[in-house]
Amino acid sequence: MPHHTVFEAKIEHLQILDETGKLDKKLAKDTLNNDQVVYLYEQMRICRALDDIAFKLQRSGRMGTYPQNKGQEANAVGSALAMVKGNDWIVPSYRENAALFMHGMPMHMVIQYWMGDERGSQFPDGVNITPLSVPIGTHMLHATGIAWAMKQRKVKDAAVITYFGDGATSEGDFHNAMNFASVMQVPTIFYCQNNSWAISLPREQQMNSATVAQKAIAYDMPTIRVDGNDIFAVYKATCDARKRAIEGGGPSFIEGVTYRLADHTTADDASRYRDPKEVEAWVERDPLIRTRMYMESVGVWDDKKQEELDTRAETIVKEVINAAISVPEPDKADFFNYMFKEIPEDLKIQRDTMRTTSIGRNPSQIGLKAQPAEAH
């Protein structure tokens, strides 16, 4: 047979809860119950409240920068609920706060981190989360490595999920991680939050593919595109991917189509490159609005409950901010104490003298000035 088709593929799109809050009951079967929906809505609302306060902290000069999660929260909460807390691993980028909180990261730590305090990455024991990753795409390699270690150690019923944006799929590290995960068939879930913008570059100008999900086809990886503002679709897709992973089916790719309603970070001004009409259209698809409409339609939510939640969210966020800003200043010796398990002798001298090694050993060198160069 000299000429024949050797490969064909298709990408499925999944939506269960539409923009008006209408649920497809058939597709929703065996996904989320109403108690879980309420819980996820509460997590999104609290995360949104934290975003608002963090923005004000930055604008008042008490935080260097901050990337708001606003508009993308459904991706985080839906997928986080599908993963098993304390068992699976979360390898985040920097726009998945709600998922981190749901898996045990103390909320004040994310504020510490963005205030420049690295102790915000020192999570309690048993919290299976890696530190936030600002470099684009590098952490996907870590996720694949963790999953490979699980497989090598024959760890059962555990998987790794890693989050990243559409822009990260244009990075070499993304392809390295995807290829390795596929070849080694490790239990990794690659979750792309496609919010259409890699900072100021629209998706259409950084890739020529119709979807992000189809990039996984090159690695023979199961892939799906979901409505990323639909907690039901996100939850189901992640559950399916996790089940495949722990049963030895290898990695999966999920593209959650969403939108960041705020700037890329507080150092950005998205109004300079985004059409206001585009933003307005996505405001109507806000996952919080959609989820609330659904809850109200089935009688599990009303204005009184919303008012109570708003008050609770405000109280929680105030406590979180107070905890973050009241943390004692770090000891200068911590730089050395946490760098090595066993500190080398020369670094002990630097730590104890707070001088470079040579000056620490010979304090008489302190204050020496460079001699002027001889005239030629």
Please name the residues in contact with 303: beta carbons below 8 A apart, sequence gap of 6 or more. Answer: none
Cβ-contact 92, 99 below 8 angstroms: yes
Name the amino acid, one letter, at 366.
I
φ and ψ at 30, to 5 degrees? 65, 25
Contacts within 8 Å (CB) and 24+ apart, 197-202: 197/166, 197/167, 197/260, 197/264, 197/270, 197/274, 198/165, 198/166, 198/167, 198/170, 199/167, 199/264, 199/268, 200/264, 200/268, 200/270, 200/272, 200/273, 201/167
Q: How far apart are CA 31 and CA 351, in angstroms?
A: 54
Report DSSP state, residue 308: H
Residues with a known catalytic role? 260, 264, 273
Name the token pair of 164.
């990243």
Q: How far apart are CA 81 and CA 84, in angstroms?
A: 7
